[in-house]
Amino acid sequence: MIQPDGHLTHDLDPADQPPKDACGVFGVWSHGEEVAKLAYFGLYALQHRGQESAGIAVSDGSRIMVFKDMGLVAQVFNETVLNTLRGYLAVGHCRYSTSGSSVWENAQPTFRATPSASLALSHNGNLINTRELAAMAGESWGQPEATSDTDVLTSLFVSPPVVQEAAGLPGAPGIEQNALAVLPLVRGAFSLVFAEEKTLYAARDRHGFRPLVLGRLPRGWVVASETAALDIVGATVVREIEPGELVSIDERGVRSHRFAAAEPRGCLFEYVYLARPDTTISGRGVQATRVEVGRRLAAEHPVEADLVIPVPESGTPAAIGYAQGSGIRYAQGLVKNSYVGRTFIQPSQSIRERGIKLKLNPLRDVIAGQRVVVVDDSIVRGNTQRAIVSMLREAGAAQVHVRISSPPVSWPCFFGIDFASRAELIAGSLPVEAIRESIGADSLGFVSLEGLIQATTLPAEQLCHACFDGDYPVAVTESEQGKYLLEGVMAGGASDS
């Protein structure tokens, strides 16, 4: 991929990448605060949710200014840029693409201006009826290189004639009325933060697939993908945006509108990997859930060993729980390079094959001669675990037992996580013993789906666990998965994440 500065970015090995999660969204309405800087720090807290592009839109009540670019939040924004974004309302986004191209045109927030309205919109999730919505919009976009379903929503929200005809509404509705008419027609996952000149909005699909929370500032309000982003800007948690709810925030305060009955099916994988450990979901701390999963994993898959070590950082809480549940000593056996991301240097084949070494390196003095239990959050294709097992053996481990704090990921996600297709998922075609042989471990154990669900303290019927068992809350066909050509309008797909 060519960056705006002309550099070529290159992942060491796409097959070694962890699952790309849904994006991070953030919004703030506050008089007397530097809202662009609040949005910057909010996005910084959500950086783990999207590392391809970042953007912030700010309104001063009369016009909306948008600044966005490819790269990390700290690469896109600096003090000078933020000082030019002045106003009392801001919308921010950090992006991972699923099937939409990773190009500047798809960076968010998206923006549309019409004679009657202007709109900046950030989207976390993945729609599965984009073709239908695009046909309803009935426009050519004027940006054929864009591949984001967010463009479809943005266009519909600022297109009164289209919405009136589709919903049978009289008169000339505004952004709020348009959204209330369109959102019931949208299928799939969406947590939206969007704004016109004077009002901030937040909306969540009827299933609440992706998280979205409301926070209170001394002089305003904040909405964000995770509670950790509220913490960093000094906001107190008020509540989650409910599934099927649209919230409006302006001079009159916070107003709630119901566009669909709630049918909660929050993403179970948020607890496994996506969310920060210091985030709270549905009243349950993610860290506490992951530690409890580790305890259950120890009970379900015991082994005689000398050390429990995590694959940092995502495997750390579960490794702590495994050590607590098993009585085996916990130790740091792998050191993570915290600064590894994308490199601008083309690696040689030998470096590519050893690319895991750039991310993790074993502590030989700790590992040599020991029977090691190594705990990680998931196995997607198996390449990373294969490399870790090999690395630990080279460091002198007597035995390597792999324990995974999620069930086997056997099915693709159509609601905002970029898992591979089922054919590419190692658990989509191989049983556990064959996976063990493939990665070279002495033993392999996955936590059960029941154990993982119980650790969240939520009922199974309120969680989406389709990536583990293929039980999709919304019926999904191959043509609806968001990875098709939209008849020349959107080349390459219709997904934003």
**Which value, in Å, is the radius of gyration of the alpha carbons in the chain?**
23
Q: What span, in angstroms and rounded, lies between the C-alpha atoms of 287 and 405?
A: 13
Residue-wise over 299-320: b if at least 16 C-beta within 10 A, else e? Answer: eebbbebbbbbbbbebbbbbbb
What are 275's two structure tokens? 């969310």
Predicted pLDDT of residue 337: 81
Q: What single-letter amino acid sits at 141?
A: W
Predicted pLDDT of residue 116: 76
What are 17's two structure tokens? 């990448």
pLDDT tens digits, 50-73:
888 999 999 999 999 999 999 999
Q: What span, in angstroms and rounded, lies between the C-alpha atoms of 401 and 436?
A: 9
> Three-class SS of residue 227?
helix
Predicted pLDDT of residue 16: 47
Q: What is the dotted CATH code of the domain comprising 284-457?
A: 3.40.50.2020
Query: How big is the chain, counted in residues?
Result: 497
Q: From the centroid of its chain, how far is CA 30?
A: 26
Q: What single-letter amino acid sits at 280?
A: T
Q: What single-letter amino acid sits at 386?
A: R
Q: Choosing from 23, 94, 267, 413, which is the catalytic residue?
A: 23
What are 325's two structure tokens? 């549940």
Q: What span, in angstroms and rounded, lies between the C-alpha atoms of 258 and 342?
A: 41
DSSP 49: G
Among 39, 376, 447, 21, residue whose Cα is nearest residue 209? 21
**Per residue, what are the HEC states of 246-301?**
EEEEECCEEEEEECCCCCCCEECHHHHHHCCCCCEECCEEHHHHHHHHHHHHHHHC
| Domain range list for the chain | 14-265, 284-457
Stated as kind and residue range, the H or E segment containing 91 is strand 89-95
Q: What span, in angstroms and rounded, lies between the C-alpha atoms of 378 and 190?
A: 24
Residue 453 · residue 105 · CB < 8 Å: no
To the nearest 10 degrees (0 to 180), the angle between helices 432-439 and 383-394 is: 50
- Quick one: fold of 14-265? Glutamine Phosphoribosylpyrophosphate, subunit 1, domain 1 (3.60.20)
**Is residue 23 flagged as an active site residue?**
yes
> For the chain, percent helix, then strand, then coil, each to nearest 5?
30, 25, 45
> Three-class SS of residue 330?
strand
Residue 200 · residue 35 · CB < 8 Å: no
> Three-class SS of residue 403?
strand
List, for the chain, all residue ranges whose pLDDT scores fall below the cut of 70.
1-22, 97-104, 138-147, 160-172, 339-355, 420, 477-497
